[in-house]
Amino acid sequence: FGSHNEQYFLIKKAKVADIDTNETVYFATEESLSKDRLLELDSIAWERGTANVQPSSNHRNSDVVLIILTGHAEEDALTQVKKCKHYQSYLWGFHGWSNYRLIVAELSSGRIVHNRHGQILKKLVKKAIQ
């Protein structure tokens, strides 16, 4: 998803801000989720999601989201979810940043686990799996 926003002062020639925001969302379905598989999916999503980021003075953020739907998740995999975090700042934040959101939904129990930035997706995923 990409969003471009421009702000003006009275007329279009007096541009105040030019802002680009991007979000790349990855979905994975797994019969059973182990800690090793979680870390593999985590690494792939972050690498692919940030590969096309083009930082510039107009770039605000390019976030990466990974949503994993699984029939069963091992307990150590669910514990690891909260520890999966990535962040990248471009030119000390002057050219934007990238955050990482991760959420795992265990369909057999209805349990949803997320990392810190994934909190905002919890309500959406909960509605989607019910």
The structure tokens listed for 14 are 């007096």
Name the more confident of 15 and 58.
58
User: Does 16 map to a domain?
Assistant: no
Domain assignment of residue 10, yes or no = no
CA distance linking residue 78 with residue 75, whole number of Å: 5
Task: Report yes or no on 13 lying in a domain.
Answer: no
12-40 pLDDT tens trace = 666 656 677 788 999 999 999 999 999 99
Is residue 9 assigned to a domain? Answer: no
CA gap 83, 118 in Å, rounded:
12
6 has pLDDT over 70:
no
Please state the domain count of the chain. 1
The residue written with tokens 């959420």 in the block is 103
Answer whether residue 33 is part of any domain.
yes
Q: Which tops the pLDDT comparison, 14 or 128? A: 128
